[in-house]
Structure 1
Amino acid sequence: MPVPTLSEIQDKLRRPLELERAQGCQNRAVAGGMEKLLDNFARPFPKVREALRGYGEMSSEERGAALETALTLLTPAQTAPRAPTRVENRPKLPAEESAGPLPPGTELSKLNFGPGAGKKFTALGLYTLRDVLHNYPRRHEDRRALPSLAQVEDGQKVTVEGVIVSKHRRTPRPGMLILEATLENAWGERVKCTWFNQAWIEKGLREGLKLIVSGRAKRFGKSVQVAVEHMESVGEGGHSLSSGRIIGIYDARDGISQEFVRKAVQTALTRVPPGDYITARWRTQYGLTDLSDALWGMHFPHDEAHLERATARLRFDEYLFLELRVLLQGDDAILMGKRFSATDDDMQQFEASLPFTFTNAQRRVLYEIADDMRGEQQMARLLQGDVGSGKTAVAACALYLAWRDHYQGALMAPTEILARQHYASLQTYLTPLGVRVGLLIGAMTPKLKAEVQARIAAGEVDVVVGTQALIQEAVQWHNLGLAVVDEEHRFGVMQRRKLLTGRPDVLVMSATPIPRSLALTSYGDLELSIIDELPPGRTPIETKLIQDTARRQAYGFVMKQIREGRQAYVVTALIEESDTLELLAATQLADDLKVLLPEARVGLLHGRMSAVEKDAVMEQFRERAFDVLVSTTVIEVGVDVPNATVMVIENAERFGLSQLHQLRGRVGRGSAQSYCVLVAGEHSQKTRKRLKIIESSTDGFVIAEADLKLRGHGELRGTRQSGLDELKLGDLSNDLEIIERARELAKYILRHDPALSHPGLAYLRAELQARSSQVAYREVI
């Protein structure tokens, strides 16, 4: 490794100092603080060390002054302090490629990238200069100091730079061609490079040509041979985009070299003029480098710090535009809604009427909801809470607050049986307080349905519970003020909006625990409240993981519970999504259990049934018409059956952790101890480790975080939330702080200019449109 010069050390010291100044002197530019940097690089510069001594204990103003002194000492008198983009560190270009600036939307077909370039760009999905700029490397390799061949190990992936001193071709047998070229590197060492059945390579190999090759090394004593995977020739000027630097490795197709992609990126970076959609003030506030520096640093970083700050900026951008897109979707993004008094006295009066007291978590989220209801802007809030955490009681209180101000309320559930369950709960909570609660579902007779609709229109029903029947055209509201939507992802975004005529406040409830990072992006148009505490006295569900070889023991335990008067669920999983296979699998399992448990009455529930049939089966189960309900995942969100105390989940490895937790929540609804048995058909250590998370934890949010790390974000809502699948740099399992900062900026921008119409936001608006168009195109295809 060459010894760095004093000038290079000076440069390494100056850059983080400039970044620290740009970030507002917060002592965050260097991991471990500024003193760490001084220990590593400042020894040759005692005056600089003295100027920054005790930096961590200084005030902001003192730090700023100290940084200015240090940077003056490090900047040669004849040159001005360097700009953040550091143009001098960019790859050098041949003179003929330096041409006038072009807008980012310029089509690549209008530039000359050489023969066949158009087809290559199309194969990579690149059509404009902007596409090239944001086609980030999938990883980076450090090729600043290429290794001596003496250091290369057998099987190691290496990059070698050298001059061709000889070449040969061999045909060991018909149909096989081996090309060989011997390179001599800067140490005078020689390496044999080989290409198999690549005849077109031969005419490009000539003695005296300087090459950079990458591939897998094979040692034969002291000699080394490389099976070449990538090759690049070094031009007369000796400038290379593939060595002597940290280089990006791009996703490419057969016949498209890394060299081609790098040259296209280099051209795009030099032809697109400097500009930024995030203002200097915002960049300073959030500690971000400018866009030009970020793009150069992503594609051609001159050191690790450059790559790190580039990645941080571009990752922030991904979340910023994702939040902007979600906040702007639909017509209900930023609207004036109802304004309620929502007094503390009213909330206390509601709680006093309950046979229990709210938990601290329930009380906290209730005050968040009340604050929204008191505001002029339409409430759009997501209420998350595990099964049994008391979401319905909180929603009932919000509906009561709306009623106190003479508004109607609605609660829409995904199934009729859930609607009836909510109807019974709200009657218990609200009727004693004088609130008139009604039910509207599809199973009603036309006459009864018409009567309820007439009472709603006349304002004779204060709170209406129902299914999608609530969003039929025949439903006319007298004065709808608050709409509560349960398990909104079961409806989809567009169905929810049909309930929002007249701009009522909106409260979405979900018993599906979602990590906060995912909730802020998937449900970015909603503010977030979380009930993260269960009421006292609940008995945790005991969960046991077993191998399928112990199935008989599991069902022996089920039979023991049945003899004690309890009931059980048995859930089956499928490898493929198929209604026919689902029916066969569930039916077969039910038949098997009738043989295995001859004393038990076995019922069946599956996805081929109509909604009416499903509700009828669940009602029979609740009425104890049978002891065991064999079901597919249609019972994931379902009715309370307090007498069901055991659930067996077959082939548990085929489910995600969050889904298993949701299924498990179907038991434990009564006072008796409940159990969940996970039967694993796969016996690998990886599977056991994953399922052990469910066995050892009953906290839905802990499980959801683990699921996110293991499986990714997946699909959560009825209409896929555009943007999550396009994250190139973002990692939802680790980026919560970045997401919250990006969301804060997005909300600030839209609060001050909802249409992004200010001239200063033109670049931001154009970039948002470009990213949105790409997402829409991907969804169409």
Structure 2
Amino acid sequence: MQSPDKSVLELKGVGEKVAEKLATIGINGINDVLFHLPSSYTDQSVVDLNQADNGANITVEGTVKTEPQIAFFRKGKSRLTFFMDANGIYVKVTFFNQPYLKKNIVNGEFIRLYGKFNRHRLEINGQKLIYDASGGMYVKYPLAGVMQSKTFQKIVSSAFEVATFNIDIAEDLRAKYKLMPIKDALYEMHFPSSQESTDLARRTIKFFELYKYQLMIMEKRQLERIRSERFIVDYDIQRLKGFIDTLPFELTNDQKMSVNDICRDLKQNISMHRLLQGDVGSGKTIVAGICVYAVKTIGEQSAVMVPTEVLANQHYQSFLDTFKDRLVIEKLTGSTKPKEKREILERLKNGEIDLIVGTHALFEDDVVFNKLSFTIIDEQHRFGVKQRQRLNDKAYRKNVLYMTATPIPRTLSITTYGDMDVSLIKEMPAGRIPIETSWRRFNEIDDVLNSVKAEVDKGHSAYIVAPLIEESETLDLKNVYEIYSVFEEKFGDDEVILVHGRMKAEEKNAAMAAFESLEKPILVSTTVIEVGINVPNATSIVIFNAERFGLSTLHQLRGRVGRSDKKSYCVLVSDAATDNAKLRMEIMTSTTDGFLLSERDLEMRGPGDFFGVRQSGLPQFKVADITEDYRILEVARLEAIERYEKKSLK
């Protein structure tokens, strides 16, 4: 592998025009050539028909026994047929829509071809004639039509002649995991000798990619862990224990472990960089709040930044309920009145505020802290890197806790958040009643309406979720206005309120307030309610066209209910026309475990779409697949950590 990389123009057979073609598919240097690997392999070793399986794609050879015949049909379709003797077996061969092959098929001459074998009829559906007598494995490259695979393979051959392979897997690791040198593995993938060797080469490259990525994560982790005695938060442990003892409930084991993780970080002279994962309702906020109180014991400040005003309101109220008068807490969002904002900023600068809860407004230039020593960023993937950094730049002690209510599969946690320490809260607080989830078809809508009415009649509230705001010309989906009209007709205008993303902030806030105050018990909405809504009185949620959502989104929506000691229900309304959609409905009705659902969601949607949009931070591997190769990823991570720690000790 060439380091530093050299231009493809240094390769034999590559001039300016060819280089321009290669550049269109992202190949500019010799390393790009070496790592532009085949997309498929065809084993074209000659097969004895006596050993061939029915329906197998095989290569056979033999003597042509009849003159090839061509029949033409409408619209230019054709069929070319002849018989051949393949090692004593008389077999019929048919090529469809390749009449030009006739000139290369001569009665009495030897021939080799590739096609699909029908053992019962002794026929071969030919795919191509083979003119290369070497046989063996043949490769096909993803080249987007810029050139033929054979042409590119010649360029690859030239790259191997000039490349200097000065990066490799350590010899002891190769021996430990029975891997090949990188040069040999790459050569085998481009010029395969057997299926077994190609499989070993592929495993080697997978390990190499994942191992190198994990080493890079370790480097990044080291750079972000700034060492300074000033970062030590020497909190009063007795006061903190006293506060925990006053809580009206017992922390779960996972909550206790997470508090210990964070407090241990606060005591160290290295900046905290931790991710707190917890399912909906698992109690992440109280964990964060306890650690805020630890910082309070030395007279310093904390900040909680969240992506939406609704979530800011929820956290603010939750902290007020928990701490009452033991912390001075304020809220700062885009809708904070100018006079109130000026007063808050003055008190924040003077150190009179212990905890500030806010949205993007927190990283504005006029927000100045007295001593910010603990920063909490909720649903951090909704903020850009620069936005998060702007808030961290204001800190006196750079200790950052990221929180997410989206359970993240371990493989994604390792790759996307591998530079962070991770704490998990899987255990749910005592007394939580599991949400009962059911799947209904659209022709059962009357039953769905009646189930909502039964809950409303008990004095409870209900969420109704639509996939779209307005009617779509291309998608046969229910929109929020259509669904609103159905529920308005059933329950009346006094019972139902509408919320969607295009409403003005004040309209949306007013509608949410009417729902939260129980003035209107039924909220018809789009997925704007996915995160940050906390209405304990809500006991049912109905999700229309549920097949349009990923498992993780459905689980987040389901988490809007079940926030009290009342029995709660989630109804998925979907005709689920595809096998994939049916499977998602079946998975959702079989478990409420968010971490299990996240793993299944990753399997079904792939890592790039796990968060609902393409994650630019996800690594792009040539061969490795973090969903399929999680065992290799785990091993590569452990080896990378061990290597890096040994290196750090030297």
Deviation of 1:109 (Å): 4.1
Aligned partner (choices 34, 54, 77) of residue 133 of structure 1: 34
Aligned partner (choices 545, 559, 573) of residue 467 of structure 2: 573
Counterpart in the other structure of 1:383: 276
Counterpart in the other structure of 1:148: 48
Q: Deviations over 1:297-349 (max 9, x none)?
A: 43345455533432222112332344455666799734236122357545423
Q: 1:178 to 1:299 in 2, by over 3 A?
A: same
Counterpart in the other structure of 2:488: 594
Question: Is 1:105 the counterpart of 2:1 in the alignment?
Answer: no
CA distance in 1, matches of 2:28, 2:508: 50
Deviation of 1:691 (Å): 1.0
Alignment of 1:156-235 (within 5 A): 156-161=56-61, 170=70, 172=72, 175=76, 192=93, 194=95, 196-197=97-98, 199=100, 212-217=112-117, 221-222=121-122, 224-228=123-127, 230-234=128-132
Deviation of 1:440 (Å): 1.5
Counterpart in the other structure of 2:374: 482
Question: Any idea what SS the aligned residue of 1:714 has?
Answer: helix
Deviation of 1:272 (Å): 2.6
CA distance in 2, matches of 1:206, 1:343: 93
Aligned partner (choices 461, 472, 483) of residue 353 of structure 2: 461
CA distance in 2, matches of 1:343, 1:287: 52
TM-score, scaled to structure 2: 0.87
CA distance in 1, matches of 2:628, 2:248: 41
1:440–1:469: 8 Å Cα contact kept in structure 2?
yes
Question: Any idea what SS the aligned residue of 2:381 has?
Answer: helix
Question: Is 1:423 the counterpart of 2:316 in the alignment?
Answer: yes
Q: Deviations over 1:463-485 (max 9, x none)?
A: 11111111111011211111001
Identity %: 35
Deviation of 1:600 (Å): 5.8
Counterpart in the other structure of 1:59: none
Alignment of 1:716-755 (within 5 A): 721-722=615-616, 724=618, 726-746=620-640
Aligned partner (choices 498, 517, 521) of residue 604 of structure 1: 498
Q: Deviations over 1:441-462 (max 9, x none)?
A: 2222111101111111111112
Counterpart in the other structure of 2:202: 311
Question: Is 1:696 the counterpart of 2:595 in the alignment?
Answer: no
Contiguous gaps of at least 5 residues in structure 2: none
Counterpart in the other structure of 1:623: 517
CA distance in 1, matches of 2:540, 2:468: 21
Q: 1:620 to 1:344 in 2, by over 3 A?
A: same
Question: Any idea what SS the aligned residue of 2:72 has?
Answer: coil
Q: 1:496 to 1:279 in 2, by over 3 A?
A: same
CA distance in 2, matches of 1:589, 1:719: 26
CA distance in 2, matches of 1:534, 1:674: 16
Counterpart in the other structure of 2:171: 280
Question: Any idea what SS the aligned residue of 2:164 has?
Answer: coil
2:41–2:138: 8 Å Cα contact kept in structure 1?
yes
Q: 1:135 to 1:255 in 2, by over 3 A?
A: closer
Deviation of 1:729 (Å): 3.2
Question: Any idea what SS the aligned residue of 1:726 has?
Answer: coil
Q: 1:488 to 1:166 in 2, by over 3 A?
A: same
Deviation of 1:549 (Å): 1.1
Q: Which residue identity does 1:157 align to in structure 2? A: N
Aligned partner (choices 370, 380, 392) of residue 285 of structure 2: 392
Question: Any idea what SS the aligned residue of 1:691 has?
Answer: helix
Aligned partner (choices 439, 443, 463) of residue 549 of structure 1: 443
Q: Which residue identity does 1:294 align to in structure 2? A: A
Counterpart in the other structure of 1:635: 529
CA distance in 2, matches of 1:610, 1:171: 68
1:488–1:717: 8 Å Cα contact kept in structure 2?
no
Deviation of 1:528 (Å): 1.3
CA distance in 2, matches of 1:231, 1:267: 27
Counterpart in the other structure of 2:266: 373
TM-score, scaled to structure 1: 0.73
Q: Deviations over 1:79-107 (max 9, x none)?
A: xxxxxxxxxxxxxxxxxxxxxx9778343
Counterpart in the other structure of 1:472: 364
Q: 1:198 to 1:396 in 2, by over 3 A?
A: farther
CA distance in 2, matches of 1:300, 1:575: 54
More deviation, 115-124/480-489 = 115-124
Report the number of matched residues.
643
Instruction: Please tell me the root mean square deviation across aligned C-alpha atoms, in Å.
Output: 3.8
Deviation of 1:380 (Å): 0.9
Q: 1:162 to 1:456 in 2, by over 3 A?
A: farther
Q: 1:208 to 1:665 in 2, by over 3 A?
A: same
Aligned partner (choices 326, 330, 335) of residue 438 of structure 1: 330
Counterpart in the other structure of 1:354: 247
Question: Any idea what SS the aligned residue of 1:489 has?
Answer: helix
Question: Any idea what SS the aligned residue of 2:365 has?
Answer: coil
CA distance in 1, matches of 2:109, 2:148: 19
CA distance in 1, matches of 2:508, 2:159: 58
Aligned partner (choices 447, 456, 473) of residue 562 of structure 1: 456
2:469–2:481: 8 Å Cα contact kept in structure 1?
no
CA distance in 2, matches of 1:677, 1:644: 13
Q: Which residue identity does 1:319 align to in structure 2? A: L
Counterpart in the other structure of 1:449: 341
Question: Is 1:539 the counterpart of 2:433 in the alignment?
Answer: yes
Question: Any idea what SS the aligned residue of 2:224 has?
Answer: coil
Counterpart in the other structure of 1:706: 600
CA distance in 1, matches of 2:521, 2:515: 7
Deviation of 1:537 (Å): 1.0
1:113–1:264: 8 Å Cα contact kept in structure 2?
yes
CA distance in 1, matches of 2:21, 2:109: 26
Deviation of 1:565 (Å): 0.9
Q: Which residue identity does 2:297 align to in structure 1? A: R
Question: Any idea what SS the aligned residue of 2:392 has?
Answer: coil
Question: Any idea what SS the aligned residue of 1:233 has?
Answer: coil
Q: Deviations over 1:561-614 (max 9, x none)?
A: 111111111001149998999999211211121113348611011110233432
CA distance in 1, matches of 2:434, 2:96: 63
Deviation of 1:185 (Å): 5.3
Aligned partner (choices 374, 377, 388) of residue 496 of structure 1: 388
Counterpart in the other structure of 1:682: 576
